[in-house]
Amino acid sequence: MTTHVPRYHRSTHREAILDFVRDRRAHLSAEEIYAGLRPNHPRLSMGTVYRNLHILVEQQRLHALHFSNGGDRYDARLEPHYHLACRRCGDVVDVDMPVLDQLDTFVRDHRGSFRIESHTVLFHGLCFACTQFERDVD
């Protein structure tokens, strides 16, 4: 039982999806990608968006981010970096700070049985716009 590895063909839609996420430099949901591409790709379907997003992640041409609200989001910035999410509006931005590679090493030494591959850091809080709607946060 050897797992079949497909040799992907070239696909206009797949490239369009990748380009779209790259150009936006944002953390887009499948729905946003679909809506954004629809004008120029009227025959695009959600099934195709999902199928291609999975392939692009598998090919390491996109990274998937998992959040609380709603579904996954996709990021074309491949170097490790941290994120900051607003708990009110859900907006996600990149954090401009060095990645702490030593964390992986530290945990590796303390938990040898687990093969650590990477880590993610997510900061939680309120973006500037949303702070105005939340008064007394103790």
For DNA, the binding residues (CB under 7 A) are 4, 6-14, 29-31, 41, 43-48, 50-52, 54-55, 70-72
Per CB under 8 A, does 127 bind its own copies? yes
Residues in contact with its own copies, shown as a per-residue x/- string from 79 to 118 under the rule CB under 8 A: -----x-xx-----x-xxx-----xx-xx--xx-xxxxxx
In whole angstroms, the minimum distance from the beta carbon of 111 to its own copies comes to 7
DSSP 37-63: HTTT-TT--HHHHHHHHHHHHHTTSSE
In whole angstroms, the minimum distance from the beta carbon of 29 to its own copies comes to 14
Chain-centroid distance of CA 44 in Å reads: 21
Task: From 38, 65, 58, 76, select the one nearest 122 (Cα to Cα).
Answer: 65
Per CB under 8 A, does 120 bind its own copies? yes
Q: Are 95 and 84 in contact (CB under 8 A)?
A: yes
